Amino acid sequence: MPLLEVKDLRVYYYTLKGVVKAVDKISFSVEKGETLGLAGESGCGKSTLGFSLLRLVPPPGRIVEGKILFENMDVTSLPEDRLRREYRWKRVSMIFQGAMNALNPVKTIGDQIAEAILVHEENVTKKEALERAAELLKMVGIDPRRIKSYPHELSGGMKQRVIIAMALALNPPLVIADEPTTALDVVVQAQIMNLLKRLKKQYNMSMILISHDLALIAEIADRVAVMYAGKIVELGTAEQIYNSPKHPYTQGLISSVPRLRGPKKLEWIPGQPPDLRNPPPGCRFAPRCPYATDRCRRGEPPVIEIEPQHYVGCWLYTK
């Protein structure tokens, strides 16, 4: 049984200018101890999907259809008090995008980590929570004495480590990392990714890594789901996605990554992603696809398994 199973999930934003179909009938699963990479352009629905797994989609967004099953528990039907008490942070936590804005500037980092523990754990004193906070800081490579520091006294990389410590405060089986290296230089990015890999192995936790950076995902993911315009267009092992991409969008993404060896001329995907308030009929990538036919513009392709563990939604592979 998968640790997490998502079935036909739809998450829409009801705005004054129309309904934005940010996540539109998505299905996937995450196994115990597995890292799933979620890749795609900005605005394709990756972060909305991450927030929906914690039922934290900000207004005017809401889950309109589908199931989120965690250890066979239906998260979509849990009352709010059980979500806070039994699910969020205890079973699934999140490393939020942009540590610069995720921390409270007027509270010490020790108090912020301790607060996450006190809110979710009964019979824990403030002193015990602070001691646990110091242990967590040490675990992520920060001097435990920094529990008395304020966010402005830390570098960007240290702030990101604090966010990681908060996400791991209750030893959750699944962590969602939403663009965990945003606004960090390449050296600090490598440090953060190495830290995540070490902690994942140490605690045998599962992870969903959300990023537009395919190279970053390649470092850590076991499987990769490629999103485009609110849908998963290809899903497979990291080796399948990087060495044998099938969907034209995935092929375009990988071709656009700079390489030290190989063709010097960079390729790119022409055009712009569609407006999710009014997506095109048929395949949403058809207006930008070099292989598009009338069939692509008329009907949405089904997602089919073309080889073991490799799924693609494209009429090129459907009879």
Report the chain's mean pLDDT, rounded to a whole number: 92
Distance CA 141, CA 158 (A): 9
Position 109 confidence tier, pLDDT thresholds 50, 70, 90 = very high
| Res 215: pLDDT | 83
Residue 248 pLDDT exceeds 90: yes
Q: What is the mean pLDDT of residues 22-41?
A: 95
Residue 257 pLDDT exceeds 80: no
Q: What is the mean pLDDT of residues 296-319?
A: 93
Residue 183 pLDDT exceeds 90: no
Residue 265 pLDDT exceeds 80: no
Model pTM? 0.93
| Res 292: pLDDT | 94
Residue 99 pLDDT exceeds 90: no
| Res 260: pLDDT | 64
Q: Residue 94's beta-bridge partner residues?
A: 176
Position 309 confidence tier, pLDDT thresholds 50, 70, 90 = very high
Closest by alpha carbon to 97, among 51, 57, 143? 51
Cα–Cα separations (whole angstroms), residue 281 to 107, 148, 232, 289, 299: 49, 55, 16, 14, 7
Structure tokens at 76: 């979509």
| Res 35: pLDDT | 96
| Res 263: pLDDT | 60
Distance CA 45, CA 50 (A): 9
Closest by alpha carbon to 285, among 240, 237, 243, 230? 230
Residue 185 pLDDT exceeds 70: yes
Distance CA 87, CA 20 (A): 27
| Res 18: pLDDT | 95
Exposure string of 157-194, with b = 16+ CB inside 10 Å and e = fewer, is: bbbbbbbbbbbbbbebbbbbbbbbbbebeeebbebbbe
| Res 100: pLDDT | 67
Which has more confidence, 66 or 188? 66
Distance CA 91, CA 171 (A): 8
Among residues of the chain, what percentage have pLDDT more than 90?
Answer: 76
Structure tokens at 124: 């824990």
- Domains for the chain: give ranges and CATH numbers: 4-91+172-317 (3.40.50.300)
| Res 123: pLDDT | 86
Residue 21 pLDDT exceeds 70: yes
Residue corresponding to tokens 């675990």: 139
Indicate the range of 122-126, 148-152, 202-206, 290-294 predicted with least confidence.
Answer: 122-126
DSSP string spanning 185-201?
Answer: -HHHHHHHHHHHHHHHH
pLDDT tens for 140-170 read: 999 999 999 999 999 988 999 999 999 999 9
Position 79 confidence tier, pLDDT thresholds 50, 70, 90 = very high
Position 22 confidence tier, pLDDT thresholds 50, 70, 90 = very high
